[in-house]
Amino acid sequence: IWVGVLTWRQSSMGATDHVSAIVLGRCLTYTRNMHPELRNQDCKKILNTFTSAFVSKDPCNITKEDYQPLIDLVTQTVPCNKTLFWSRSKELAHQYSGIQKEMFTLEDTLLGYIADNLVWCGDPRTSEVKEEFCPYRNENCSSTATSVFWTVVSQKFAESACGTVYVMLNGSRTTAFSKASTFGSVEVFNLHPDRVHTLHAWVMHDIGGVERDSCLGSSIKELKSIVNQRNISFFCQDDYRPARFVQCVRHPEHPSCSVLM
Ligand code: NAD
């Protein structure tokens, strides 16, 4: 019943059942069905390389190097100008990229797709993928199998981006940009200024929700300053209209959905 619905914040409750079967199934769906140009990828090998990163190991001390073989095995290029990062706006970013299929969030790439919403870990006493309990990520257990995976694949995703890159942020939160987020701590710092010339931020607001932050707020000023210091241009747009249209599907009567803004 838990399949695909646990997030790492809930991971003290348990790992995802049947992680290996889900990862293999998702890999086959992605490479055979959704992206047949990747049909030569060996999903069994991808699964084995994925699980080798953490099985039989201390679930609190996984390293980036543990996942390096997986990163080296799965090479997929996202076209220039088509990378979409997100922070605190996962659902909308995925709804948008699900329609605007040219755009890729990390979870629209094979590595992000196979692991999204799953929780997994190993155990030094067995060579199994644990299916009952994975430790919480906290100060005593900072390098879990799941969290190190996301750090490594987010870093790789940002390193390979080129042209103009986009980020969807949530202006209904007090701070649309947070330096503590994976976007703010990993992705921004791994963009290559020689390949990425512009970061374009879309600050989205929940329809009918509070507008706590915007392109004019101090968190976006901080993002602009970090990005400009890295010699990357920065643009910001509040409520990017194509993404607004997606929000409007569920709120067609809202004034912001019927009036040209
Ligand atoms: P965020 O704060 O909205 O977090 C996104 C989701 O990922 C949340 O469910 C959060 O619980 C989880 N998450 C974040 N960092 C994590 C980590 N180190 N380990 C495990 N889970 C983590 O936004 P964010 O922190 O900026 O992360 C989103 C950005 O980073 C995206 O651009 C994406 O490319 C990448 N990312 C994706 C995931 C994912 O679960 N699909 C997780 C981490 C990072």
**From the CA of 251, how far away is ligand 1's center (Å)?**
27
Q: Give 249-260 pLDDT, tens digit per residue.
A: 999 999 989 865
Atom of ligand 1 nearest to the CA of 88: 3
| 120-160 residue pLDDT tens | 999 999 999 986 689 989 999 999 999 999 999 999 999 99
Residue nearest to atom 22 of ligand 1 (CA): 147
Residue nearest to atom 19 of ligand 1 (CA): 147
Q: CB within 8 A of 225, min separation 6: which ones? A: none
- Burial (Cβ within 10 Å: 0-12, 13-18, ≥19) of residue 93: buried
User: Does the predicted TM-score (pTM) go above 0.80?
Assistant: yes
193-251 residue pLDDT tens: 999 999 999 999 999 999 999 999 999 999 999 999 999 999 999 999 999 999 999 99
Q: Report the C-alpha dihedral over residues 31, 163, 72, 5, rounded to 10 degrees.
A: -50
Instruction: Please indicate whether residue 154, judged by its CB atom, sits closer than 6 Å to ligand 1.
Output: yes
H helical segments located in the chain: 19-28, 43-52, 68-73, 90-99, 110-115, 145-159, 182, 218-229, 241-248, 255-258
Cβ–ligand 1 distance for 214 under 6 Å, the answer: no
- Over the stretch 58-114, which tens digit does the pLDDT of each residue have? 999 999 999 999 999 999 999 999 999 999 999 999 999 999 999 999 999 999 999
Q: Is the CB of 151 under 6 A from ligand 1?
A: yes
Residue-level pLDDT at 130: 83
Res. 4: pLDDT tops 50: no
Q: Would you state the pLDDT for residue 179?
A: 98
Q: Whose CA is nearest to atom 28 of ligand 1?
A: 87
Predicted complex ipTM: 0.93
Distance 43 CA to ligand 1 centre (A): 24
| pLDDT at residue 10 greater than cutoff 90 | no
The answer, yes or no, to whether residue 13 has pLDDT greater than 60, is no
Tell me, what's the pLDDT at 15?
67
Ligand 1 contact via 234 beta carbon (within 6 Å) = no
Q: pLDDT band for position 53 (50/70/90)? A: very high
Question: What does the CA dihedral 207, 213, 217, 218 come to, rounded to 10 degrees?
Answer: -160
* 131 CA → ligand 1 middle, Å: 22
- Is residue 54 within 8 A of residue 120, CB to CB? The reply is yes
The finding on whether 187 has its CB within 6 A of some atom of ligand 1 is yes
Query: Is 107's C-beta closer than 6 angstroms to any atom of ligand 1?
Result: yes
Kindly give the distance from the C-alpha atom of residue 167 to the centroid of ligand 1, in angstroms, as a whole number. 13
